[in-house]
Structure 1
């Protein structure tokens, strides 16, 4: 699961402080803190205790055009209100060049670039924010997020150590900050330590039980720890808070399958097919589930729908052929295997499936020829790996 912006929660939507929300990795419009959370500080250009028209460190930074700075801030706010976040960021960049000692501007830009996956720029602005306000939790969280991403492409562990230190410091400064606990949980998940991750997610939920992301991530941690019952409970809670979280519905369906609750899994896949995105993925999942449920005709219907939507889907053709074989219809299966191989000549498993079909039809020579072709395909694959 990605550290910062999981597909399951969806990307954020812009300049976070300007928009009066802190979106370090949460979905568009959904803060990882509730609007009435006591643990959250939500500065913005209009009401922050840090006045944007004044440099926070006049002795360190050279004098600047105060009038031009204020105009840039005003334009940034107007762009933000109209949803033109890229233009707002451009104005803030100019403001930052005029007054690099303004922590609010630096925080806005750090969050904006973090949300845009531009972690080098995010780190640069977060670094400035931390230097200007070492005890500002939002600054520490922004730098931690950017540093974790930089760590993933770094040859050293310096960035990771810095990110961990930032998270620990954020928690020590504000033990009731649910986001800091949440990100510590994400880091533990990335380190394949689901039990520790669960502790931090649970703490985040205790501090703010209104955030869907916390349940979603804890649910995945429970799943990775083999606690599927608790994983289902957390995914259910996520869907109560955010019914349109389709990735969590997928996850719950898979957990239902894992625990043999096929009817419940079928309901979730069907709802996604009828109302959600990624219909093809849901059909694949439901078709496989129907095979487990021994509803082979239902599986054929789903694979047929996939093929109708995409005639070039060789995998759906091959899978439907497999089901036809289970139904005792090798001639229909042969048509599908032929079509799948015509679309993709490189997969040995396709030739082996057709070989079994030829055997069922009494064509031993053709079956042997397909098995030899499968061996050659496997040999080519082995060479490619070398």
Structure 2
């Protein structure tokens, strides 16, 4: 009799488990909506710390709220950038990229801050990721070309400049950089060796018997 009672209890619990899970999920969604509302109110007041905190709590309860957190992190990151709080800005953009790694704009924003801190290698990597996501964006090639030029990599800088001109043949920045890079290439090109003199045409040999 006890075995049957235990079995009945197990079956009852198994049947009720999905209902409990559904009820908890519904509760989480409602709680997330509450935090999300707080986040939007904070956004209207440009209180980015409060907005990020509220949207982060909302996203932890309901992943559908993650885009709001991504947006708030970017806004705060840009605010940090304006205030020249570069480490904080990079941290926010990095967190945003963990949630949305296919957003070229976030890579660009982080790269901009990395350039401000002279971390050109990381900026180069971020612009390369942005180009993978948006291969027809002229601006990305121009910035990457600038970084290559700053690092003294004339070859890759010229390659990106050519790509920019292929996408926008009238781009004045690209035209100016190409002219400048061509001048650097010419200055760095060693002079060719003099031609070997032939005995028959050599002035020294002409007067000999």
TM-score normalised to the size of structure 2?
A: 0.63
Which aligned pairs between 1:304-383 and structure 2 lie closer than 5 A? 304-329=162-187
Counterpart contact for 1:266–1:289, Cα < 8 Å: yes
Structure 1 ranges of 4+ moved more than 2 A:
176-188, 197-211, 274-279, 308-315, 322-329
User: By how many angstroms is 1:289 displaced?
Assistant: 1.1
Counterpart of 1:184 in structure 2 is 42
CA offsets 1:233-292 (integer angstroms, 9 cap, x no match): 111111111111211111011111111221111111112222325531110110111122
| Residue from 276, 280, 286 that aligns with 2:134 | 276
Counterpart of 2:118 in structure 1 is 260
- What SS does structure 2 have at the residue aligned with 1:244? coil
Counterpart contact for 2:107–2:126, Cα < 8 Å: yes
- What SS does structure 2 have at the residue aligned with 1:36? helix
What is the alpha-carbon distance in structure 2 between the residues aligned to residue 183 and residue 249 of structure 1? Answer: 27
What is the alpha-carbon distance in structure 2 between the residues aligned to residue 228 and residue 243 of structure 1? Answer: 20
What is the alpha-carbon distance in structure 2 between the residues aligned to residue 255 and residue 292 of structure 1? Answer: 16
**Quick check: which one's helix share is greater?**
2
| Residue from 35, 38, 41 that aligns with 2:31 | 38
Distance 1:297 1:208, change over 3 A: same
Counterpart of 2:19 in structure 1 is none
1:238 correspondence with 2:102? no
- What SS does structure 1 have at the residue aligned with 2:29? coil
Counterpart of 1:199 in structure 2 is 49
What is the alpha-carbon distance in structure 2 between the residues aligned to residue 252 and residue 36 of structure 1? Answer: 32
Which aligned pairs between 1:1-386 and structure 2 lie closer than 5 A? 36=29, 38-40=31-33, 176-185=34-43, 187-188=45-46, 197-209=47-59, 210=66, 211-276=69-134, 278-329=136-187
Counterpart contact for 1:205–1:215, Cα < 8 Å: no
CA offsets 1:321-345 (integer angstroms, 9 cap, x no match): 122334455xxxxxxxxxxxxxxxx
Question: What is the root-mean-square deviation in Å for CA atoms of aligned residues?
Answer: 2.6
Counterpart of 2:23 in structure 1 is none
Counterpart contact for 1:182–1:214, Cα < 8 Å: no
- What SS does structure 2 have at the residue aligned with 1:229? helix
What is the alpha-carbon distance in structure 1 between the residues aligned to residue 154 and residue 98 of structure 2? Answer: 33
- What SS does structure 1 have at the residue aligned with 2:118? coil
Largest Rg, 1 or 2: 2
Counterpart contact for 2:74–2:96, Cα < 8 Å: yes
* Runs (5+) with no aligned partner, structure 1: 1-34, 41-175, 189-196, 330-386
User: By how many angstroms is 1:227 displaced?
Assistant: 1.3
Counterpart contact for 2:105–2:130, Cα < 8 Å: no
What is the alpha-carbon distance in structure 1 between the residues aligned to residue 169 and residue 179 of structure 2? Answer: 14
Counterpart of 1:103 in structure 2 is none
* Runs (5+) with no aligned partner, structure 2: 1-27, 60-65, 188-209
Distance 1:226 1:183, change over 3 A: farther
Counterpart of 1:123 in structure 2 is none
User: By how many angstroms is 1:316 displaced?
Assistant: 1.2
Counterpart contact for 1:284–1:303, Cα < 8 Å: yes
Distance 1:199 1:314, change over 3 A: closer
